[in-house]
């Protein structure tokens, strides 16, 4: 405890040692007297530039925790600190505005960030190129495939220029091949920028494919069951044997958690 305090005191405010600090966070829902404890004493630091996946069974509180980090809800106990400002969010559903084109969806995020009108078009084009959708600027949302929509959603999240990207099962609704391609894109973009990522999934392979660190949550209430540093060099592929081996080990633990809580 003492060393932590000394470290914090020595660090200037704008060069924080973490992109997000989740400190002894608990969350309950319901009325007083009939409360359901969903998250119990969760502490996670996401380092600047780190890629962390949060893994757990359905209903264990992953989205709840991400929403707390996003500032959409408040913890019942504990604190959350995101020193780099408002994080960018990406959900399973793309949440694009259907009446705007792909490009205009991104321009809107740039506008909300305060970017001058004259610069927005060029920047939106650049972001679409980054997610390999150059040429899709004028396409309406309904003209895009599911994978293309998620790419636009990723470009829009990047348009916010946040230091922290929060992703809640963003590729869960996609077919395996499209998901594979988007894993590659995300890994490339992450390694080319200094963005930190907190990525929620219940897919073990996906967690290991992407992350530098996998944090496993138990269920009812969600607690940190275990975490793994993933030392496998990037770029990885989901079918790599090292990814498979670690996935087997983590799946065993996850099964144990699910058995213990009688789910599925």
Ligand X SMILES: Nc1ncnc2c1ncn2[C@@H]1O[C@H](COP(=O)(O)OP(=O)(O)OP(=O)(O)O)[C@@H](O)[C@H]1O
Q: Which does 149 bind (CB under 5 to 8 A by kind): Mg ion, ligand X, none?
A: none
Contacts with Mg ion in 132-161 (CB under 5 A)?
A: none
Taking CB under 5 A as the rule, does residue 178 contact Mg ion?
no
Q: Which is nearer to ligand X, 67 or 193 (CB)?
A: 67
- Assigned token pair, 257: 């958690």
Among 63, 193, 234, 251, contact with Mg ion (rule: CB under 5 A): 63
Q: Which is nearer to ligand X, 27 or 104 (CB)?
A: 27
Q: Which is nearer to Mg ion, 18 or 171 (CB)?
A: 171
Contact call for residues 160 and 16 (beta carbons, < 8 A): no
Name the closest residue to Mg ion (Cβ): 63
Contact call for residues 18 and 4 (beta carbons, < 8 A): no
Task: Report the interface residues with ligand X, using CB under 6 A.
Answer: 29, 38, 56, 58-64, 202
Q: Which is nearer to ligand X, 62 or 156 (CB)?
A: 62
Smallest gap from Cβ 202 to ligand X, in A, equals 5
Q: Which is nearer to Mg ion, 54 or 141 (CB)?
A: 54
Q: How far apart are CA 148 and CA 16, in angstroms?
A: 35
CA-wise closest residue to 58 among 247, 219, 226, 244: 219
Q: Which stretch binds Mg ion (CB under 5 A): 16-24, 61-69, 77-85, 219-227?
A: 61-69
Q: How many residues bind Mg ion (CB under 5 A)?
A: 1
Q: Which does 82 bind (CB under 5 to 8 A by kind): Mg ion, ligand X, none?
A: none
Smallest gap from Cβ 2 to ligand X, in A, equals 34
> For 67, which DSSP code?
H
Q: Long-range contacts: 41-45, Cβ < 8 Å, 24+? A: 41/78, 41/223, 42/78, 42/217, 42/222, 42/223, 42/224, 43/78, 43/224, 44/20, 44/215, 44/224, 45/17, 45/18, 45/20, 45/21
Residues 6+ apart with CB under 8 A from 224: 42, 43, 44, 215, 216, 217, 218
Q: Which does 56 bind (CB under 5 to 8 A by kind): Mg ion, ligand X, none?
A: ligand X
> For 197, which DSSP code?
E
Residues 6+ apart with CB under 8 A from 250: 55, 204, 207, 208, 214, 216, 228
Count of C-beta atoms within a 10 Å radius of residue 131: 24
Q: Which does 136 bind (CB under 5 to 8 A by kind): Mg ion, ligand X, none?
A: none
Q: Which is nearer to Mg ion, 63 or 160 (CB)?
A: 63
Q: Which is nearer to Mg ion, 60 or 155 (CB)?
A: 60
Taking CB under 5 A as the rule, does residue 251 contact Mg ion?
no
Smallest gap from Cβ 59 to ligand X, in A, equals 5
Q: Give contact residues for Mg ion (rule: CB under 5 A).
A: 63
């Amino acid at each position: 405890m003492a060393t932590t305090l000394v470290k914090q005191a020595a660090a200037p405010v704008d060069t924080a040692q973490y992109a997000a600090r989740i400190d002894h966070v608990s969350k309950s829902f319901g009325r007083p007297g009939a409360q359901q404890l969903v998250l119990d004493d969760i502490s996670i630091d996401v380092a600047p530039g780190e890629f962390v996946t949060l893994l757990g069974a359905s209903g264990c509180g992953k989205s709840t925790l991400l929403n707390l980090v996003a500032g959409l809800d408040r913890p019942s106990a504990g604190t959350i600190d995101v020193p780099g400002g408002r994080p960018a969010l990406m959900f399973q559903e793309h949440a694009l505005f259907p009446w705007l084109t792909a490009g205009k969806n991104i321009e809107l995020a740039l506008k909300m960030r305060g970017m001058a009108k004259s610069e927005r078009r060029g920047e939106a084009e650049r972001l679409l190129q980054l997610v390999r959708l150059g040429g899709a600027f004028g396409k309406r949302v309904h003209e895009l495939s599911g994978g293309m929509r998620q790419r636009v959603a990723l470009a829009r999240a990047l348009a916010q220029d946040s230091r922290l990207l929060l992703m809640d099962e963003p590729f869960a609704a996609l077919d395996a091949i499209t998901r594979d391609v988007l894993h590659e894109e995300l890994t490339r973009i992450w390694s080319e920028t200094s963005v930190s990522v907190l990525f929620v999934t219940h897919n073990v392979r996906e967690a290991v494919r992407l992350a530098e660190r996998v944090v496993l949550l138990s269920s009812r209430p969600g607690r940190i069951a275990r975490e793994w540093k993933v030392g496998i060099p990037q770029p990885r592929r989901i079918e790599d044997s090292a990814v498979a081996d670690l996935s087997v080990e983590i799946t065993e633990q996850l099964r144990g958690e699910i058995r213990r809580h009688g789910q599925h």
